[in-house]
Chains A and B, each alone.
Chain A
């Protein structure tokens, strides 16, 4: 009978997917961890740089996390709880930072507030942005949009009714906030705190460019592997960076279904009070400036003849970047991003079909492996690939960059399509079976067609992230396979900030175009 054939096919596909992901997610990680030995640990722990790096990492990440949360929480309240205009525009502005590499945020700060920075000169400042301040500021720029989206998502699901009741009972706004909103937000907020902390502490882009002598663990790991080829020491530091990531992952796992489950009796009304609205405008405006100014400065730096002495428009920096093969590297990035978007989306869709629509015990295993990928920081993933696949045919080719990016970014799009497929009517397969509609047709004409908006969102997510990532790919690319985002490291090392600005802009522009295209496609449907 049909159903027996289906079950066999399901079982086989699940086993295949589980094996593939075991090889590309779990195996590398285990390999990396298995390379840790007492000699490696000793070498790392006894180095003079180790303890300061740990302190620096913890300190910058803690402070940056607190600031990020305050900013993104305030922003989320401004956008979702007041009735201000221009929300669409603000929405676009606050996604921009998510479209460029973290290292570009550090560079933006350098250009604006560095020794030769635009504002430094304009306002005659003499505070130094290098080190702690710069890392914190850059990390906040890089992390706040992500935190903002996560917090907005929770605020959207908060129910107004308890609030209203408290209001009627004459409970003041402060008590309402501490008594109702905070307890409601507590669990998801803890999750977000760890996610942001992990995101910041595992990033090497910002501290590399603006940290100067103030080294963090991530920079130490980068230098051990890239500069000294000490993979074993890198693995030790990688294991340390894995700790917050695993904690964040476990926390997220325990309250994953929260947001979608809660049922909103009455949504919050958006405030129309002139005072709240004015404050919201001011806040959004200032934050927009913080986002937009560095981007304008990239342009100023990239297109000025000799910034800041001669501001005549020129394309010589583009030519210079091109002469250093920026064109080839851009092409590499486009190839990688398109491949990751296509393959990643297909893989996520099929896996989610198996886990959401053909549920068995094996589905659970596949599901868990896939979301585990979220717990591995990019750099750790990159190093574990370098240590696991150095003998394989795909090593030193563009294929390994494609695979590592798919694995690095797989968890979020997978969850998007998993949720979307889970919500589709549970009886559709039965309808198909009784009406004689084949399974492939059902997948294509019904499930894929119904989840098209999500599929577009997934593809766009894979593309944009592959375009801007500098983490997992940094230990795996060669001079011929290098993606363009990694040129920023190289330009930075050679003090060619103009070219780095051009490259950052190029990445931003490509990502904006892709986002716009996908938005147009989904709008039309």
Chain B
């Protein structure tokens, strides 16, 4: 296996005494695609926000490339994040959205436009570069959000249910594309979803969470073959059934 990119050690977080993360530890390998699965409210978003530095853990440690980044500013962690609701700058054109963060900083100002255009081209958005986000479809807007993150060259991208607001056809298309981009850029991806099929299709490894705890983290095959407990089992069975259903649909 590749090097360890991110090492999460004993993260704990409570909101007003209610636990949201309970002693969570795991490693993420360089260039891998890790999905996080789990029911709503189990702490997935909380974990992601702590990883990128938008939220402080009560205790625990985050190491990136062996370096302790637990208390480093969110902007300096070399990570990007993509939200379910796109969170684009509605008042700016697609191109502006992508180049804005580069343009306002001295050391990235030069060549910002070219970089932004190249990313837009890669994501098939060039023809929309002068449109406002409001004029685009959901799938296109999410592409812009991904482009805006990619242009800053992060080595880790976090996704918080990025496809939940999209229709099935768009999801399938964007899913394939995401996988290609990840390979191409070699970016490590941590991807929250509650679509199990999506997790199985995209991931090198899957992490299952329940009630603020990490239950199992393993390859898709191992999760199916040896689920850690009944929860994972029922969950995977359901997933298999779904997969078979969709296969049947496909065959027909």
Interface residues, chain A, with chain B CB atoms under 8 Å away: 1-3, 424-428, 430-431, 433-438, 441, 445-446, 449-450, 452
Contact = CB atoms under 8 A, between A and B. Distances in A.
Contact of B100 (A424, A425, A437): A437
Contact of A434 (B74, B89, B92): B74
A425 B87 contact: yes
B79 A434 contact: yes
B73 A2 contact: yes
B152 A446 contact: no
B53 interface: yes
B54 A1 contact: no
Nearest to B75: A436
Nearest to B133: A425
B174 interface: no
Interface string B79-118: 1110101111111100000001100110000000000000
Q: Is the interface of A mostly helix, strand, loop or mixed?
A: helix
A441 B81 contact: no
B170 interface: no
B163 interface: no
A436 B86 CA distance: 18
A53 to B, nearest CB: 53
A427 B81 CA distance: 10
Contacts of B75: 2, 433-436
Contact of A427 (B56, B87, B92, B152): B87
A2 B148 CA distance: 22
22 contacts: A2-B73, A2-B75, A3-B54, A3-B56, A3-B74, A426-B85, A428-B87, A428-B89, A430-B49, A430-B87, A433-B54, A433-B75, A434-B77, A434-B79, A434-B80, A437-B100, A445-B89, A445-B92, A449-B92, A450-B89, A450-B90, A452-B91
Given A2-B74, A3-B56, A425-B86, 6 more contacts: A3-B54, A428-B87, A434-B80, A435-B152, A438-B104, A449-B92
A84 B74 CA distance: 56
A426 B160 CA distance: 14
Contacts of A427: 83, 85, 87
Contact of B104 (A431, A434, A437): A437
B207 interface: no
B75 to A, nearest CB: 3
A441 B104 contact: yes
Contacts of B79: 434
A440 to B, nearest CB: 11
Contacts of A446: 89, 91
B52 interface: yes
A84 B100 CA distance: 46
Nearest to A448: B91
Contact of B91 (A431, A436, A449): A449
